[in-house]
Structure 1
Amino acid sequence: LKLGATVFYLKREEEGFLCKVAYPNELFEYDNMPNILSSVAGNIFGMKEIKNLRLEDIHFPIEIINSYKGPKFGIDGIRRLLKVYDRPLLGTIVKPKIGLNSYDHAQVCYDAWVGGCDVVKDDENLSSQKFNDFKTRLRETLKMKEKAERKTGEKKIYMINITAETNEMIKRAELAKKAGNEYVMVDVLTVGFSALQTLRNANEKLNLVIHAHRAMHAALTKNLKHGISMKVLVKIYRLIGVDQLHIGTGVGKMFETLEEVKENVKACTEEMHGIKKVFPVCSGGLHPGHIPFLMKNIGNEIIQMGGGIHGHPLGTVEGAKAARQAIDATIKNIPLEKYAEHHIQL
């Protein structure tokens, strides 16, 4: 049995070499993502002979792909849940990201929903602090979610952050399910690959949509000479089984170029031996004026705006209305400036 890796491509480029390596399947425990990454992205990064090394892409064989569950819902399942098929989903993040009590937090969510947001999410560093504990926030925000659904006649989504130590994270997912919520959010890098696999396994029974926040990714992805590209992480998280994933914006405050973002979208949605597609999420420094660019260049993804909605001069409700109006105008191929003449929020 030959277990050695094979370098099958080596080409000198402007600032180094592009190298492609094939590994025998037998080297890996197929359904053990930490094992796979310890092999292909492990100690090699720490060798003193290597100044810089970046894992640009990864291709999994079908035997490994078939060992993972993939997304529970994926794009099609999420659109069926919301009954929204022909436009981007509009989301916001509660701002300020921390500091609000549970009741004020729930009110911000309500204002965003009645203004036109489909989705409201916790920010990545809100967990269960004393000023806004998990159970109270879940209870009060779901009350407002139901109220907003009655008022608007639209399905609304609350992505509550369950990020925590693995056992506690599973407990919080169970609490969300018991309370009647359909979604959870998790900071996928900071909880780790093992914890995420554990959550996905538990989700076979919980049947929740998993929204993946990528906090800390830039420690791996931002240096173009050293680290791991975002599209590699996208493929890994898609295999493990998140349903939605932040992929950059190509505009706004995030560092990725439009081309990099398109590569991330491709990794979310390309054919992968029957694995469901992950819903790409654009989030980071966005406002209604960015919507035509996003819809033209990226498509009908999930568009999230924090300050771009809450920072509206007339408040969160009007800011959410402005964002929905920007989507409507873009679908109708009407310039935002012209549409705004008869839509004062925009």
Structure 2
Amino acid sequence: MTRITATYDLESPIGVAAAAAVVAGEQSTGTFTRLAAETDALRARSAARIEDIVITGTSPTPALPTRKTGTSYERGRVTLSWSLDNFGTSLPVLMSTLAGNLFELAELSAIRLIDMQLPGAFATAHPGPQFGAQGTRDLMGGHTGPLIGTIIKPSVGLGPDETAALVATLVDAGIDFIKDDELQANGPHCPFAERVAAVSAVLNAHADKTGKKVIYAFNVTDEIDQMWRNLDLLQAHGGTCAMVCVSAVGLSGLRALRDRSPMAIHGHRAGWGIYSRSPDIGISFGVMQKLWRLAGADHLHVNGLANKFTETDAVIAQSARSVQQPVCASGPAHLAMPVYSSGQTVWQVDPARRLLNNDDFIFCAGGGILSHPFGASAGVMALRQAAQAARDGIDIRAFARQHPELEAAINTFPEPDIAVTQGQNRAS
């Protein structure tokens, strides 16, 4: 495979085939008029090709505001391809080509990038995740089962010492993973350096006492040079994980972090709704997660089943599975760990595991831990018990009869309505 392919769901007042030709020209050799330098030989070498068109329907009204109008608006899926020679393996240029000016074209009344296939040259040109699932377990000194995690809450407002006190409670409860909220980075009320020093003292003392290194994902999101300084500070304190808001720093910022990071990179997708919420414009997670993995993310947030946001369980399942599939047709697979979060309790553990068929995920619960009637330790234990029941194929209610922490959790947290199907990924 030497060409990049991208599939779009688009709508147009001029018809899908004509609109596809406009997009192909705009995103390769063409412009609003034929150029003298745009020879047949040049077009054969560098023009985007229309590989496939499937008409899916028509509408009497446009999905999005558009300057060009028509009597009807045809909708369909269009697959285009580009020569690798047009831009090499540059991720920013790839993004500018596949998701650039085409979103502004007047001939389109809807345009959404829904799939992307890359040749193996991208997998070999980019570092990908440095740790992935097994490397993340190794950072902890060895671990089995999913990582049970949580988020520092309140999101903002706690100072360094208050944050460290909460971390002490969580590590004593047996937590595996803790992360900063995406809103907490380096504010005056909780400076990064002071938070790292206070929290690391707790983590290191716990590791010395128990042999278990709890992973804390410190939010390093900032300008590139400051992110590098943040990494240096984390390394000096024995840090193992840096969290970054991948949309905020962009692909180049993420790659710059990966190139300097001696620790795992936890990718938070804050702002994802901008790309995903509308069915008529945006980019699918299946596309963006490939780019974030190529740039170096070890963990990627995929939302959670029965979550508090707008995505359906079917979308969550597809997103979680995609992170554990090869990023390109050939070359290194660059697998990452999906991170479930948002309103998660013991009820979601089994379906989250079933849709992957393995334990290579992080399961983050806030209230699902801290609101347990027996306390935070029982909250963590209940999630572990739910994971054990899932791994052994035992119904959660039956398992809870012999495990009081789990029984209290299922009696406390309402059972959500979850609809997912078993995945096809490798079994652990």
Assess same fold via TM > 0.5. Answer: yes
Given that 2:219 and 2:242 are in contact with CA atoms closer than 8 Å, whether structure 1 keeps it comes out as: yes
SS at structure 2 position matched to 1:320: helix
Name the residue aligned to 1:323. Answer: 383
Given that 1:117 and 1:324 are in contact with CA atoms closer than 8 Å, whether structure 2 keeps it comes out as: no
Distance (whole Å) between structure 2 residues aligned to residue 20 and residue 89 of structure 1? 38
Distance (whole Å) between structure 2 residues aligned to residue 210 and residue 327 of structure 1? 24
Given that 1:116 and 1:324 are in contact with CA atoms closer than 8 Å, whether structure 2 keeps it comes out as: no
Name the residue aligned to 2:240. Answer: 182
Name the residue aligned to 2:299. Answer: 244
Name the residue aligned to 1:224. Answer: 279
Name the residue aligned to 1:337. Answer: 397
Name the residue aligned to 2:35. Answer: none
Name the residue aligned to 2:66. Answer: none
**1:196-252 deviations in whole A, cap 9, x for unaligned?**
12111222xxx1100000000111012122100011110001111110101122322
**1:238-277 deviations in whole A, cap 9, x for unaligned?**
1111101011223222333333233323332223411421
2:76 to 2, 13, 17: 17
SS at structure 1 position matched to 2:199: helix
Alignment of 1:255-270 (within 5 A): 255-270=310-325
Q: 1:213 to 1:43 in 2, by over 3 A?
A: same
Given that 1:163 and 1:191 are in contact with CA atoms closer than 8 Å, whether structure 2 keeps it comes out as: yes
Distance (whole Å) between structure 1 residues aligned to residue 299 and residue 283 of structure 2? 20
Aligned length: 342
Given that 2:346 and 2:382 are in contact with CA atoms closer than 8 Å, whether structure 1 keeps it comes out as: yes
Given that 2:300 and 2:339 are in contact with CA atoms closer than 8 Å, whether structure 1 keeps it comes out as: yes
Question: Residue 20 of structure 1 aligns to which amino acid in structure 2?
Answer: T
Given that 1:239 and 1:275 are in contact with CA atoms closer than 8 Å, whether structure 2 keeps it comes out as: no
Given that 2:297 and 2:336 are in contact with CA atoms closer than 8 Å, whether structure 1 keeps it comes out as: yes
Alignment of 1:210-221 (within 5 A): 210-221=265-276
Alignment of 1:20-169 (within 5 A): 20-30=79-89, 32-84=90-142, 86-169=144-227
Higher RCO (Cα < 8 Å, 6 or more apart): 1
Distance (whole Å) between structure 2 residues aligned to residue 84 and residue 6 of structure 1? 49
What's the TM-score once normalised by structure 1's chain length?
0.92
Question: Residue 343 of structure 2 aligns to which amino acid in structure 1?
Answer: G
Q: 1:126 to 1:281 in 2, by over 3 A?
A: same
More helix by share: 1
Distance (whole Å) between structure 1 residues aligned to residue 323 and residue 228 of structure 2? 25
Given that 1:286 and 1:304 are in contact with CA atoms closer than 8 Å, whether structure 2 keeps it comes out as: yes
SS at structure 2 position matched to 1:13: strand
Percent identity over the alignment is: 30
1:284 to 322, 327, 342: 342
Given that 1:285 and 1:307 are in contact with CA atoms closer than 8 Å, whether structure 2 keeps it comes out as: yes
Given that 2:127 and 2:295 are in contact with CA atoms closer than 8 Å, whether structure 1 keeps it comes out as: yes
SS at structure 1 position matched to 2:218: strand
Given that 1:288 and 1:326 are in contact with CA atoms closer than 8 Å, whether structure 2 keeps it comes out as: yes
Name the residue aligned to 2:353. Answer: 295
Distance (whole Å) between structure 1 residues aligned to residue 291 and residue 244 of structure 2? 15
1:199 aligns with 2:257: yes
SS at structure 1 position matched to 2:405: coil
Given that 1:58 and 1:232 are in contact with CA atoms closer than 8 Å, whether structure 2 keeps it comes out as: yes
Return 5+ residue gaps in structure 1 as ranges. Answer: none
Name the residue aligned to 2:46. Answer: 3
Return 5+ residue gaps in structure 2 as ranges. Answer: 1-41, 59-74, 407-428
Q: CA RMSD in A?
A: 1.9
Name the residue aligned to 1:306. Answer: 366
Question: Residue 131 of structure 1 aligns to which amino acid in structure 2?
Answer: H
SS at structure 2 position matched to 1:192: helix
What's the TM-score once normalised by structure 2's chain length?
0.75
